[in-house]
Amino acid sequence: MTKLRESAKASGKKVRLRSIESGMSDDVRAYRKHYSQFLRSGVFLIDKVSAYLLKTRGKGIRPLLTLVGARAYGHTGALPESTLSAALIVELLHTASLIHDDVVDRADERRGRPSLNLVFNNKVAVLFGDFMLSRSLEGMFNQRNFDVLDLFSDCAFRLARGELVEAIGSRKLDLDKSAYYTMVSDKTASLISAACQMGPLSLGKSVEESLPMKQYGELLGIAFQIRDDLLDFGAGGPRLGKPIGLDLGQAKLTLPLIHVLEQVSPIDKKRILSRLKKSKKAGKRGKKVDLSDIIALIDEKGGIAYSQQVAVDYAKKAAEALQPLPDNEYRRKLEQFAYFAAERDR
Ligand code: FPP
Ligand code: MG
């Protein structure tokens, strides 16, 4: 068993997404109906791209957090339109950012299927991302709530800043742990946190009342992204959707690598970074370089086990942030979700 697997088991709380979704099917169904209706544009090509996206729908984690978040504040009966719309805004913004991210990363796969930029082309993908962003903006405005506009304007700013800082970091091959955490918190935790906070805000709760969800989402988001970075090193096992070594091959500096770079000699550091630089260049010419020896080195030097432990620690802190909320089954789902984020296989 690799060090990674041992540490993933260390929390003793491997959670399945299914157990969090159970009991939420009416809410999820209502949200999905909303989603497919909202994407229709009346323009053939746009609807064709939408149909492809609907087929490649992801796990729907962010909208699920909005729905469970609203329930955690004690809402009973059917969820209001404002909550279903909030879940939709979050998913549209997320999908828009991923479509753009795949263009930036030259990714040819998303959610186990060919990415939009590959099936269509970069131009269609960028413009379709813009289209989704515009639909999301419309949904935000329709909430008629300045706290919501405040939340998403900050979130969009952080998303773009995080993505830019990552791109600059991989160009200069220079990103330390502190810059990594800020980048991850911008790039991923900002939107997960907004998804969480939108649960109570969409029910008319005040910003102050929604703060435990904001805090939970920020911590959860960091755990989620660290685990995402670990999946690039094969942490999810050989099966599912995520290709191995894509981030590394593009010289993206993620926690396992940063941790190891801090420990090795300056000569080894130079050697590793120069391999990554070459791999990135080769990638631009459509070639793939074998980096399995670097992945093995990162595992051997404890970068993977260390990062896994950090992810689980963030998950624990996220679960603790929920303490001010009523003790109900939905709060427990959110607590479980934090561990799922830190230990998921896809
Ligand atoms: C995935 O990261 C990317 C993000 C979480 C954010 C991307 C953000 C942008 C492109 C800015 C967009 C801004 C607006 C306002 C829409 P990753 O590449 O590490 O994850 P992956 O492995 O899933 O691709
Ligand atoms: Mg990417």
- The ligand 1 atom nearest the CA atom of 232: 22
Residue 339 has pLDDT above 50, yes or no: yes
> Which CATH number do you get for residue 7?
1.10.600.10
Specify the residue for token string 């903006």: 137
Judge whether 286 lies within some domain: yes
Judge whether 122 lies within some domain: yes
First and final C-alpha spacing in the chain: 19
Query: Which of 95, 101, 232 is the best mutation target for the ligand 1 pocket, counting ligand atoms within 8 Å of the beta carbon and taking the most?
Result: 101
Judge whether 29 lies within some domain: yes
Task: Say what the pLDDT of residue 34 is.
Answer: 86
- Cite the DSSP H helix spans in the chain: 3-10, 17-21, 25-39, 44-55, 61-72, 81-105, 116-119, 122-142, 146-172, 177-184, 190-201, 207-231, 246-249, 255-261, 266-284, 292-300, 303-321, 329-343
Select the highest-mean-pLDDT range: 35-49, 83-97, 282-296.
83-97
Which residue puts its alpha carbon closest to atom 18 of ligand 1?
Answer: 101
Residues 135-151 have a mean pLDDT of 95
Confidence of residue 12 (pLDDT cuts 50, 70, 90): low
Least confident of 193-202, 219-228, 283-292, 305-314: 283-292
**Ligand 2 centre distance from Cα of residue 222 (Å):** 16
Least confident of 35-49, 257-271, 302-316: 35-49
Question: What's the CA gap between 221 and 264, in Å, rounded?
Answer: 29
Judge whether 346 lies within some domain: no
The count of structural domains within the chain is 1
Residue 141 has pLDDT above 60, yes or no: yes
pTM, rounded to two decimals: 0.92
Least confident of 4-18, 81-95, 177-191, 251-265: 4-18
Task: Say what the pLDDT of residue 237 is.
Answer: 64
Confidence of residue 1 (pLDDT cuts 50, 70, 90): very low
Task: Say what the pLDDT of residue 283 is.
Answer: 85
Task: Say what the pLDDT of residue 297 is.
Answer: 94
- Report the percentage of the chain scoring pLDDT > 70: 94
**Ligand 1 centre distance from Cα of residue 208 (Å):** 28
Judge whether 155 and 194 are in contact, CB under 8 Å.
yes
Judge whether 35 lies within some domain: yes
Confidence of residue 128 (pLDDT cuts 50, 70, 90): very high
110 - beta bridge partners? Answer: 113
Judge whether 243 lies within some domain: yes
The boundaries of the domain holding residue 126 are 3-341
Judge whether 63 lies within some domain: yes
pLDDT in tens, 184-201: 999 999 999 999 999 999
**Ligand 2 centre distance from Cα of residue 97 (Å):** 10
Ligand 1 shell residues, CB under 6 Å: 96-97, 100-101, 105, 107, 133, 156, 159-160, 163, 187-188, 228
